[in-house]
Structure 1
Amino acid sequence: MGPHVSESALAGLVEDLAGEVLVPGDPGYDEARVIHNGMIDRRPAVIAQCANQADVSNAILFGREAQLPIAVRGGGHSVAGTSVIDGALVVDLRRMHTVVVDPEDMTVRVDGGTTMGQMDHACQPFHVATTGGRVSTTGVGGFTLGGGSGWLERKFGLASDNLLAADLITAEGKHVHTDAQENPDLFWALHGGGGNFGVATSLTLRLHQLPRMSMAMLFFLPDDAPEIVRTFRDLAAGAPDGFGGGVIYMPAPPEPFVPEDVVGRLICGTLFTYAGPVEEIRELVAPLMALKPVVEIVQDVPYAELQSMLDDPPGLRNYWSAEYLTGLPDTAVDVFCDRGAGIPAGLPIQHVLFLMGGAVAREGAQYPQPWRTAPWVLHPFATWEDAADDERAEQWVRDVRADARPWSIDAVYLNFVGAEGEQRVVDSYGEENYRRLRAVKAEYDPDNVFRHNHNIAPATS
């Protein structure tokens, strides 16, 4: 339990919590400390599985009294593993996952531990949605407060653009509500500032009508990849806001829709998503289909199902990063394709370009997210099983970032990256925004209790 945790203090926490308290040696402790990235194997001193807002407050006060570092767990998808820290108190929100959909007011209220899949499935019967992450097990809280990039962002804006209100427990264990009128500086900071200011116990998000969703997934052998990527780029440039998607290099998965002689081979794939019927997306992708894909899936798809298409099994080793690009000229296409063609054998690396623009670029200029004006994002995404491959997988991601430097901006959506240093954080907000964020941090967390994240240091007097 660590030198600061007395038996009596721990007993007090157990008594105070409606949820469960786990320490090393308890049944369920090892399962509770596992997160999405299999590279992370840490042993917190105490895991407080909170059941309600009062539990969160009591857990924070306990952790501070015991002088333990405090980590916060929602979905557990941070590639840096910030939701579990050695010797820390983990405020585990996963028991708090109530979703309340109001189709008349077009809002959804979620508890702090809600996952994207839980929210999407609750909204789907009403044919409504809001911008969500591309993986269903992602936590809504961390995703939204970090900015929130997903398939619907060009149509409906980032997830944070749809944030209407939030309830937080501060480092002093106090409840704070924020929206555009109440505590507006805090509300501004939550548009990209992440978990720096408190533990989000509930979020209220704007919903949008989404009667139909469709997709076009096309796999090509990589010989003609530059033409494929340029065609995708040119189609995307004229696409309406309802279209999202990207281009990806990866080994072809062993799925029933993939021909046996293609499984395991490197492919260049394109994915278009569309907030509308399949007839319209089919017309848009006709030039790509003329390039003779080896896999062709064009169909209507429920949004919640689309959201889980890229789910990876937990426990894989993960390392990813991103660069936001000023454009995608032919020279950048060639560099992207050259690197994709050189994915190391045996590594299930995903070399991805996501389309941005639309509502993302038009809205939210007042928020600390300068990366949102970029039309493309390069997202090298490495997952693998064997620790012996760590060095070459991580180096490949770093090499992709280096390739992109001629076209990249300094700012990046921090949910897409791991621990890449303080300057990366400052650059991603911009210096003026960062100064303002530090002032908000100083008001709500002057001791930097919530520092196991893409940290914003509190301003000093």
Structure 2
Amino acid sequence: MEKTELTGRIVTPTDPEYEQAIINNNLNDQKYPKIIVFCQNTEDVLNALKWAREKCIPFRVRSGRHSYENFSLVNDGLVIDISEMCNIQVDLETMTAKIEAGASLGNVYQELWEYGMTIPAGTESSVGLAGLALGGGIGMLSRVFGLTCDNLLEVEIVKASGHQGAELIKANKQLHRDLFWACCGGGGGNFGIVTSFTFKLHPVSQVSVFSITWGWDDFEAAFDAWQHWAPETDVCLTSEIECRAKAADQIIAQGEFVGSANKLQRLLQPLLETGSPTNILIKEVPYIEAVHFFDDPNGNLPANRKRSGSFVAKPFPRKAILEMKHFLANAPNRDSAIWHQSLTGEVGRVAPDETAFYYRDVIIAQEYLAKWRHPFEERENIRWIEQVRRALSRYTTGDYVNWPDRFIKDWLTAYYGKNVNRLREVKTIYDPFNVFKFPQSIPPFRKRF
């Protein structure tokens, strides 16, 4: 039998570009693959999967390098990197775009803006579209246009076939409906290697943005005002609030409104009347400027990080707010933070079992953030994140699969809620041999062959 050859741009440890090729956004827990293949087209992806199966070599799939737990890297194995597959084709007649799965959010936004279009997605420009969309996808247009996966029409995906093979299939609401359902929030890398997405587009031109800052003394009042206001305000307004460590002395609320600055000013009154806000900015801008406004340059740079998260189903009582405040007052450094984004709106108009993304009835997505510079600081920062998550767990529910955390024990239920069994059924159908496996991948049901 003729053996498959790897094709694409191949990088090995002896190549000068290897050190850069193995760097992910999270520098913590670095791994050292034997080979990285940067696929240029679908044929390269098919060959890479066949090659890995024939060689019985462990492999991982990578796109934007933002896997929080570095699940997209593997020691002594193969990394199938699709980041150089980033072509975007726009069809204005059907108001759709076919986007190769290696495209970054920054490139997607810029290319679609040339046509006066967009899709709802995240805020960091270097994040890969694939991982974000497959896990759900939240961002500054979620409340008005829904999650990224809610705007997905079709995927092309390379799946394992037979004992050593690979094949490309399409999944949508007509073909392989169960697989398409699973790709709408079931997490990246569980069922195969997505090579392209087709999305419905939304026309966009001018939007309005805001930013309001409070000092530490306004912590309780500012957060409480935001959490009651943000999920209930005009559906065209999606916002976030970042509660930073006491040393940073900043509570920052920001958001994007598909409407005029004058109307946004009126909508913001509950926040503007709370405490002593400073650095108030409210302005109308071309949409692409709003994209740049929310893009965090520091979030795009590799660093030692630990993140985790949860969802909030009802506003925090005062006791929970004080617990957040306590942890941030005793944070490892000024880069520690607890971040929140408002949901509801279009996100909540989809039933929990209509897509694999289960948490439709929540009001807020909440993320815990830590970053450090020196190796000896790792333990303290990771412990802080774990303590925050456990302390707030009595007030929260689940976790977002795009914020994976290896310390969550019942992670399957945390990520997928009551959709777990259906996802495992899909896994059993499309990947019965568990070819696509990593520390928190969806397991198939055991099956006799």
What is the correspondence of 1:411-430 to structure 2 with a 5 Å cutoff? 411-421=398-408, 423-430=410-417
Provide, for residues 380-421 of structure 1, a one-character-per-residue CA deviation record: whole Å limited to 9, x for no partner: 111222122111211211122122122212x32110223235
Instruction: Give yes or no for the alignment of 1:338 onto 2:326.
Output: yes
Cα drift, residue 251 of structure 1: 5.9
Taking the aligned partners of 1:74 and 1:282, their CA distance within structure 2 comes to 39
What residue in structure 1 maps to residue 5 of structure 2? 13
One-letter amino acid of the structure 2 residue matched with residue 212 of structure 1: Q
1:214 to 201, 208, 219: 208
What residue in structure 2 maps to residue 257 of structure 1? none
Taking the aligned partners of 2:128 and 2:426, their CA distance within structure 1 comes to 24
Q: How many pairs does the alignment contain?
A: 435
User: Matched residue of 1:414: which SS?
Assistant: coil
User: Matched residue of 2:238: which SS?
Assistant: strand
Provide, for residues 344-372 of structure 1, a one-character-per-residue CA deviation record: whole Å limited to 9, x for no partner: 3x341121122111111111432232222
What residue in structure 2 maps to residue 457 of structure 1? 443
What is the correspondence of 1:168-247 to structure 2 with a 5 Å cutoff? 168-171=157-160, 172-194=165-187, 195-247=189-241
Query: Does structure 1 conserve the Cα–Cα contact (< 8 Å) formed by 2:125 and 2:300?
Result: no
User: Matched residue of 1:82: which SS?
Assistant: coil
Give the fraction of aligned pairs with identical amino acids, expressed as a percent: 26
What is the correspondence of 1:58-457 to structure 2 with a 5 Å cutoff? 58-171=47-160, 172-194=165-187, 195-250=189-244, 265-290=248-273, 291-301=275-285, 302-309=289-296, 311-331=298-318, 332-344=320-332, 346-365=333-352, 366-409=354-397, 411-421=398-408, 423-431=410-418, 433-452=419-438, 454-457=440-443
Query: Does structure 2 conserve the Cα–Cα contact (< 8 Å) formed by 1:414 and 1:454?
Result: no
Taking the aligned partners of 1:428 and 1:129, their CA distance within structure 2 comes to 27
Taking the aligned partners of 2:167 and 2:417, their CA distance within structure 1 comes to 30
Query: Does structure 1 conserve the Cα–Cα contact (< 8 Å) formed by 2:245 and 2:335?
Result: yes
One-letter amino acid of the structure 1 residue matched with residue 281 of structure 2: I
Cα drift, residue 13 of structure 1: 2.7
One-letter amino acid of the structure 2 residue matched with residue 189 of structure 1: A
Q: Which segments of 5 or more consecutive residues in structure 2 lack a partner in the other structure?
A: none
TM-score normalised according to structure 1 size: 0.89
User: Matched residue of 1:370: which SS?
Assistant: coil
Structure 1 pair 127–279 and aligned structure 2 pair: CA distance change class (3 A): farther
What residue in structure 1 maps to residue 27 of structure 2? 38
Query: Does structure 2 conserve the Cα–Cα contact (< 8 Å) formed by 1:222 and 1:341?
Result: no
Cα drift, residue 111 of structure 1: 0.6
Taking the aligned partners of 1:196 and 1:25, their CA distance within structure 2 comes to 31
Moved over 6 A (4+): none
Taking the aligned partners of 1:347 and 1:69, their CA distance within structure 2 comes to 39
Structure 1 pair 304–103 and aligned structure 2 pair: CA distance change class (3 A): farther
Taking the aligned partners of 1:235 and 1:427, their CA distance within structure 2 comes to 26
Taking the aligned partners of 2:407 and 2:204, their CA distance within structure 1 comes to 37
Taking the aligned partners of 1:192 and 1:227, their CA distance within structure 2 comes to 34
Taking the aligned partners of 2:41 and 2:216, their CA distance within structure 1 comes to 51
Cα drift, residue 422 of structure 1: 6.0
Cα drift, residue 320 of structure 1: 0.6
Cα drift, residue 122 of structure 1: 0.7
Query: Does structure 2 conserve the Cα–Cα contact (< 8 Å) formed by 1:35 and 1:76?
Result: yes
Alignment RMSD: 2.0
What residue in structure 2 maps to residue 260 of structure 1? none
Query: Does structure 1 conserve the Cα–Cα contact (< 8 Å) formed by 2:424 and 2:444?
Result: yes
User: Matched residue of 2:356: which SS?
Assistant: coil
Taking the aligned partners of 2:231 and 2:101, their CA distance within structure 1 comes to 37
One-letter amino acid of the structure 1 residue matched with residue 335 of structure 2: P
TM-score normalised according to structure 2 size: 0.92
Query: Does structure 1 conserve the Cα–Cα contact (< 8 Å) formed by 2:152 and 2:197?
Result: yes
Query: Does structure 1 conserve the Cα–Cα contact (< 8 Å) formed by 2:66 and 2:128?
Result: yes
Query: Does structure 2 conserve the Cα–Cα contact (< 8 Å) formed by 1:78 and 1:418?
Result: no
Q: Which segments of 5 or more consecutive residues in structure 1 lack a partner in the other structure?
A: 1-7, 253-263
One-letter amino acid of the structure 2 residue matched with residue 185 of structure 1: D
One-letter amino acid of the structure 2 residue matched with residue 245 of structure 1: S
